[in-house]
Structure 1
Amino acid sequence: MVRAMRWVRGSGPATLLFLLPMLLVFGLFSWWPIARTVVMAFQQTNLVEPAHWVGLDNFHRVLTDPLLPTAIRNTAVFAGLAFVFGYPVPLLLAVVMSDLRRLRGLYAALAYLPVVVPPAVAVLLWQFFYDATDTGVFNTALGWFGIGPVPWLVSPHWVLPALVIQATWAAAGGTVIIYLAALTSVPRELYDAAQVDGAGVLRKLWHITLPHLRGIMLVTLILQIIGTAQVFLEPYLFTDGGPDNASLTVLLLIYNYAFGSTTGGGDYGDATALSLMLAVALALLSWLYFRLTRSWSE
């Protein structure tokens, strides 16, 4: 009670008054849509006619959809491939660029350039690269080594690796900049001392660089897990989930429920139900991840 009276007599009301506009805007554009989404997950609605309360019917319909296991499997495979091939790339690029004495800024700008390329332009560029004929850029390069053309985007076995390569190219630059900033906090004296002791590049990387980057590596890993679990742009723009649903992801299935032709579209209740389940799953995964890695990041 005494603390509350001190808050009222002090600068508390004035502080709240200044915060009120921001809180209203944040609530209107953040919390209200979230609350509306939760309610819509239990309704049947097309956003035009009055909504009808259907309880758990939307969740039952989504969970029994034969496309859901396919979408979950494809999303998991995409995330696994992105971890194996995409997660180490930004770190290695940042370590190499951090040792450059000249033109480091130029190389950092070139690494970040794919991030600012418009997705439509990137799709046109990479479709030319992924041309399944002998004239495709990648297939031409493979032909120099006597390897036949690869059906990158038209084969169910190759489409996900192809999308992972493009997604890594598009997103790695931002992570490279983060690692470059983190590497500036590593004392140069440690590298000099290791050099005097005869440590090679790999030993310095393993015993000095990686321990100092452990915290930021754990953060970028969970961000990548969340990002790959919500992959949508690449399969939508390149293949629209094909061929034969080989690149159908959870987020693309949500889009198809609401707007696509695969499921008929207009099932906003189903779309929000699956969105809510995905959000809860990612929240639980993030909580479990930080619980398990809390001691490692210290």
Structure 2
Amino acid sequence: MTATGLTPSTQGAPDPASQAAARPTAHHPARAPGRLARSVRRNLTAHGFLIGAVVCFALFSWYPMVREFLLAFQKTERGRTTWVGLDNLTTVVNDPAFWQAWRNTLLFTALALVLGFAVPFVTALVINEFRHGQGYLRLLVYLPVMLPPVASVLLFKYLYDPGYGLLNELLRLLHLPEQQWLQDPDLAMLSVVVAATWMNMGGATLIYLAALQGIPGELYEAAELDGAGLLRKIWHVTIPQTRLILTLMLLMQVIATMQVFVEPFLLTGGAGPEGSTTTVVHLIYQYAFSFNNYGAAAALGLLLLVLLAGFSAAYVRLSRTEEA
């Protein structure tokens, strides 16, 4: 037997290189042009909406803020604009109406927190106890929010009228002394707060109601087994379970009430009897449109912005500390 015979014959065996060359190449199907075009159009549409939103914010929110910041340090006379530094701020602080406006604004905020923060929460608690007709009650509570502010103000002007107003008519029936609701400096601010609470409580009530309906019923059942009454269940179950939304609404309430303008302006003309309803925002309005002093108006607006920003930052920091 020869060495050639011991070696396996390779004649007729396929060559690996020829096999690789002969193996059909896997071609990935090219993306259809229509699919690519749809993807491009979809992305362009999304970016178009995004760009539109950014442009709207830039024109109607960011630009006015930047412009206000610049106006606070400028003064325009006879078409000429000059930088005056802190002169506008000095003018505002030395105005006697400045401190009165801040006192009235803080008083309105305090009264609004007592009424406007507590009343919607209590209303949500009551509605949550109803098993039927909650939809109609939600609509009834939210109806004042849907009314135009002018219509609501006209309604309260009728209620507060010293001659034929409904409130004084009720006082006459009860043989109680009549009141000058919007003409008395001691009652004007409280009357404005009551009207503002009624006009704006619907949204807060629905938010509280949604939070209440998210509380597990097992917690109330466990509290009842422990002998807890209604007030204890509210204090130990309801409030802790809704603490996050309560604190958020508190922050929003303070920010909104510190910027109150519509209700005092429409009910009492803004200033009210003896300036009892003059708020900071109304004073800004007076500087800008009554005195044509846009620099002072911008300076006062900047002060309000800094105060609210500081309050918001302090609140967020305290909230993080409590969560940690």
Q: Confirm or deny that 1:236 pairs with 2:262.
A: no
Give RMSD over aligned pairs: 2.0
Return closer, same or farther for 1:123/1:24 CA change in 2, 3 Å cut-off: closer
From 301, 306, 320, the equivalent of 1:275 is 301
Letter in 2 for 1:266: N
Kept in 2: contact 1:230–1:251 (CA 8 A):
yes
| Residue of structure 2 equivalent to 1:78 | 108
- The unaligned stretches of length 5 or more in structure 1 are 1-13
The CA distance in 2 between the partners of 1:275 and 1:143, in whole Å, is 44
How far the C-alpha of 1:108 sits from its partner, in A, is 0.7
How far the C-alpha of 1:229 sits from its partner, in A, is 0.7
How far the C-alpha of 1:83 sits from its partner, in A, is 1.3
Structure showing greater Rg: 2
Kept in 2: contact 1:214–1:297 (CA 8 A):
no
The CA distance in 1 between the partners of 2:167 and 2:187, in whole Å, is 13
From 114, 122, 142, the equivalent of 1:112 is 142
| Residue of structure 2 equivalent to 1:288 | 314
| Residue of structure 2 equivalent to 1:250 | 280
Identity of aligned residues (%): 44
Return closer, same or farther for 1:273/1:185 CA change in 2, 3 Å cut-off: same
Kept in 2: contact 1:214–1:296 (CA 8 A):
no
How far the C-alpha of 1:215 sits from its partner, in A, is 0.6
Kept in 2: contact 1:215–1:297 (CA 8 A):
no
How far the C-alpha of 1:185 sits from its partner, in A, is 1.4
Letter in 1 for 2:235: W
The CA distance in 2 between the partners of 1:154 and 1:192, in whole Å, is 51
The CA distance in 2 between the partners of 1:195 and 1:225, in whole Å, is 35
- Normalised by the length of structure 1, the TM-score is 0.88
Spell out, residue by residue over 1:142-167, the C-alpha distance to the aligned partner (whole angstroms, 9 max, x if none): 22332110110001000000001001
How far the C-alpha of 1:121 sits from its partner, in A, is 0.8
The CA distance in 1 between the partners of 2:267 and 2:286, in whole Å, is 15
Q: Confirm or deny that 1:42 pairs with 2:73.
A: yes
From 247, 251, 258, the equivalent of 1:218 is 247
Q: Confirm or deny that 1:188 pairs with 2:246.
A: no
Q: How many residues align?
A: 278
The CA distance in 2 between the partners of 1:30 and 1:224, in whole Å, is 21
Letter in 2 for 1:268: Y
From 159, 176, 185, the equivalent of 2:205 is 176
From 152, 155, 159, the equivalent of 1:129 is 159
How far the C-alpha of 1:267 sits from its partner, in A, is 0.7
Letter in 2 for 1:116: M
